[in-house]
Amino acid sequence: MAERAALPAHIGIIMDGNGRWARQRGQRRTEGHRAGIRAIRRVMEAADRAGVHHLTLFAFSTENWSRPRYEVATLMRLFEQTLQEEVDELHQNGVRIRVIGRRERLSARLCRLVEEAEARTRENARGALNVAINYGGRAEIVDAVRSLARAGQDLRQLDEEMLAAHLYTAGLPDPDLIIRTAGELRTSNFLIWQAAYAELYVTQTLWPDFGAADLEAALADYAVRVRRFGGVPELD
Ligand code: IPE
Ligand code: IPE
Ligand code: MG
């Protein structure tokens, strides 16, 4: 059945372009990442005002470890700092925080902060913020199959529902809209299972420049899409 898209319940964002933003200013890439962190709050507030209460942000991919050691270390420090600084306010605003991805390569400190933030905000239901760190869609599917096998499930009977129930995002709605900043026309391994039927929106705007007006433009674009899910177009 075709349906008008209206407002997405859940938006995934590939926050790309921090490095280009910094280069344009003759700054180090890490300055772009700092500016990228500042953009998150603006976008969360704009999403909340628009009535979208579920966001998943791609912060670090399983492939991003191939970046220079200094850049990776700075990003990890920024994740730690941001979690430490922002959890109180997010909690007061009723936001449930989840971090999705493989924990194994994260520092003990970051893991502890993540666990604390998740535990503290577990009961919150006004909004949901998922942050993908050391996240890869392929790794997620492999991890789901491993976890099914470990649980003694018969993989010959595997179906989509069983697999989805073992993804990091089990229990979360699939994203309706994926926004990618900085213009690249690819998913870069983000939510490749969950976004099977998501609408895609790519803007040239670099992530540190992305703000309320850009989010509103994405929502306006989404609102006139017709989602068919493989069915026939609406007859009118
Ligand atoms: C996105 O910005 C942030 C991360 C991937 C961590 P980039 O760092 O990829 O910025 P560009 O693509 O080099 O401009
Ligand atoms: C995707 O951006 C990952 C994040 C935004 C965290 P990349 O900059 O890593 O993607 P590619 O390398 O251009 O595909
Ligand atoms: Mg990039």
- Tell me whether residue 17 is in a domain: yes
- Tell me whether residue 45 is in a domain: yes
* Torsion of the alpha carbons at 146, 147, 153 and 158, rounded to the nearest 10: -70
**CB 201 near ligand 2, within 6 Å:** no
Residue 201 CA, ligand 1 centroid: distance in Å: 18
- Answer yes or no: are the C-beta atoms of 198 and 181 closer than 8 Å: no
- So what's the pLDDT on residue 233? 73
Backbone angles phi, psi at 54, to 5 degrees: -135, 115
- So what's the pLDDT on residue 235? 61
> How far, in Å, CA of 60 to CA of 96, rounded?
20
Reported as half-sphere exposure (CB side, CA atoms, 13 A), residue 87 has a value of 18
Residues with CB under 6 A from ligand 1: 15-20, 29, 60, 64, 75, 182
The first and second tokens of residue 201, run together, are 């929106």
- Answer yes or no: are the C-beta atoms of 117 and 147 closer than 8 Å: no
- Tell me whether residue 78 is in a domain: no
The tally of domains found in the chain comes to 1
Q: Are strands 10-14 and 3-4 parallel, antiparallel or unpaired?
A: unpaired
> How far, in Å, CA of 44 to CA of 96, rounded?
13
What's the pTM? 0.96
- Tell me whether residue 90 is in a domain: no
Which CATH number is 60's domain given?
3.40.1180.10
- So what's the pLDDT on residue 5? 63
Ranges of residues in the chain whose predicted pLDDT is under 70: 1-5, 234-236
If one counts every other C-beta atom within 10 angstroms of the C-beta of residue 117, the result is 22
Domain hosting 190: range is 3-67+126-227
Cβ-based neighbours of 76, under 8 Å, separated by 6 or more: 106, 107, 110
- Tell me whether residue 197 is in a domain: yes
> How far, in Å, CA of 234 to CA of 224, rounded?
13
- Tell me whether residue 190 is in a domain: yes
Residue 94 CA, ligand 2 centroid: distance in Å: 30
Tokens 């009977």 belong to: 157
- So what's the pLDDT on residue 236? 55
pLDDT in tens, 154-200: 999 999 999 999 999 999 999 999 999 999 999 999 999 999 999 99
Active site residues: 16, 64
- Tell me whether residue 105 is in a domain: no
DSSP state of 174: P
- Tell me whether residue 103 is in a domain: no
